[in-house]
Amino acid sequence: MTKEQSRKLYLQKRLGLSDAEFQRLSKRLTDNFFTSLDLSSIKVLHTFLPIEKQKEINTWMIIDRIKREHPQIRLSVPKINNQTSTIESFYFEDADQLEKNTWGIMEPKQGIPTPTDKIDAVLVPLLAFDRKGNRVGYGRGFYDKFLSNITCRKIGLSFFPPVQSIEGMSAQDVPIDVAVTPEGVFTLNKS
């Protein structure tokens, strides 16, 4: 399946989830995240904030549990720099520092920038992924640019299991190391 075919199919599948199914799958994914991943070495976790109209994984469930169960982990969230079309990372203090951008995505309106060399893991939004770690997002390349300039664990979050393979990947596409789904956690082989 090509990137474009995967993008279209899995966005359609995700948008077709009922609200109850969406919440159930988000909770199962969150539970798998906490029971299957070793968070002991993570000091700074960068996480995306969900685009509700796209039915992205409800990362607020992960954020809330990190704050309650792992207060030693500092959270960081993205902000789109429209001039450079890149992601900048800011430490997350609370929801009061957020506002919706032009795409309807919550992002910091102010805050302390997170140096990329301080980030230990990044949660990456996925529409689809394969067992080699190839991933499909919305196609704008924001996360590819961000991930290419950072050395840390790249953890994808998806409602769906891996596809057999994704064709049409380019040198600019940055693979993920592991994917968390409602069914379990997949360690990916990048070879």
> Binding site, residues?
3-7, 49, 56, 135-143
Binding-site annotation, residues for ATP: 3-7, 135-143
The per-residue b/e assignment along 62-91, b for 16 or more CB within 10 angstroms, e otherwise, is bbeebeeeeeebbbbbbbbeeeeeebbbbb
Task: Please report, in range form, the residues annotated as the binding site for substrate.
Answer: 49, 56
| Residue 52 per-residue DSSP state | G
Q: How far apart are CA 125 and CA 169, in angstroms?
A: 17
